[in-house]
Copies of this chain bind each other. A is one copy, B any other.
């Protein structure tokens, strides 16, 4: 992709009114645009990151046998009345009456809709277990939208739902999800703290949260360095207090971003909505459910919070919008050797399955270098007259900021080594 043909509107200045580093960098690197408080557009570069994260999630969900589907945003409120959650979630639920005078809402989550769907199709134990998931837009009318896309009114979630005959089946699917979530966050370059959690508005017994401690966030993780004990937000005021698990340590608190939450729901929804199956013993029983969410758009913010320096974003290779940036320094547009080499590297690396961005803009070298650091593509190839006079080209690793001079014929090999197993066919 040539930068001149691609819409990457980087900003030189930090936008006012932005407190989180991730929010600042999302705007400055041309990844998102704010339409109104809590509502964002994903610009081409931001959408690329979103898609790479979504693909990682899809791979991990498919690997544990979950089937992807796509549920609607518009829900009849009658459905939510079956579980009483029209009241539980009233504060964040966006409601309206449609032209047919039906009371409707926008889905803040999808337990009711998926239970209604499964109820229409599952009659027998022979059809269980089933695990379904979607990646889709959710709506929550947040009075206090904060930290850019971390707490937004419209955001992208992966939500999965498991349907089992018995608690043993639920426990098995829960464990599979738990493992898949660990893989997802690890592949996104994030170290998560996993906490037993309160089930809150979802209901059910067992639940775990996947948190990333960061300099912003709406949750708190308290931990004891002596015994490794960790607990969630409800312990917020515990800082400095003795650890409940050991006598040696005191608790310290850290702000964190919640990225995932998994729940063993049991029969809360299936009972309220009448989603039953005929078991082997001839009895009608409510289906045993679990639900499993990842805040996909929020993952982007968490990655940026954890991977940046004073110059910009440092994308982990697996989620970078491009794998390689080629930066030709053009004294004049007519420098044929620089142009030919740019074209050759682009063709060679693209043929290897790498996604390559060429900064072919007529901008100063300084502006190009700054933008390259800002948007944070993992590998940068700089082709300039001075090095080329000695047959060399500069390769920079954005993560280590290490720069090497490579023979111009060795670039393909060097870049392959650096990008390693990330090569993708898109």
Contact = CB atoms under 8 A, between A and B. Distances in A.
A72 B40 contact: yes
Given A47-B68, A68-B44, A141-B99, A35 B76 contact: yes
Interface stretch (A114-122, A271-279, A322-330, A368-376): A114-122
B47 A102 contact: no
Given A67-B7, A69-B47, A76 B36 contact: yes
Given A33-B117, A102-B36, A141-B99, A69 B94 contact: no
B9 A121 contact: yes
B113 A35 contact: yes
Interface string A44-72: 10110010000000000000010111111
Number of copies: 2
Interface residues of A, dominant DSSP = mixed
A132 B8 CA distance: 12
B67 A139 contact: no
Given A41-B117, A98-B94, A98-B141, A50 B70 contact: yes
A404 interface: no
Nearest to A100: B143
A198 to B, nearest CB: 24
A74 B132 contact: no
A405 interface: no
B36 A154 contact: no
Interface in A100-130: 100, 102, 106, 113, 116-117, 120-121, 130
A321 to B, nearest CB: 12
Contacts of A5: 65, 67
A73 interface: yes
Contacts of A113: 35, 41
A69 B44 contact: yes
B41 A70 contact: yes
B130 A7 contact: yes
Interface string A1-32: 00001110100000000000000000000000
A153 B50 contact: no
A130 B5 CA distance: 8
A104 to B, nearest CB: 8
Top 4 nearest A-B pairs (CB, nearest first) are: A9-B121, A42-B70, A44-B67, A96-B96
23 contacts: A6-B67, A7-B132, A33-B120, A35-B71, A35-B74, A35-B113, A35-B117, A36-B74, A37-B100, A40-B72, A41-B113, A42-B70, A44-B67, A44-B132, A46-B69, A47-B68, A47-B70, A73-B137, A74-B139, A95-B96, A98-B141, A99-B143, A100-B143
Given A7-B121, A9-B120, 17 more contacts: A7-B69, A33-B120, A35-B71, A35-B79, A35-B117, A39-B72, A41-B71, A43-B69, A44-B68, A44-B132, A47-B68, A47-B70, A72-B154, A73-B154, A74-B154, A98-B153, A137-B137
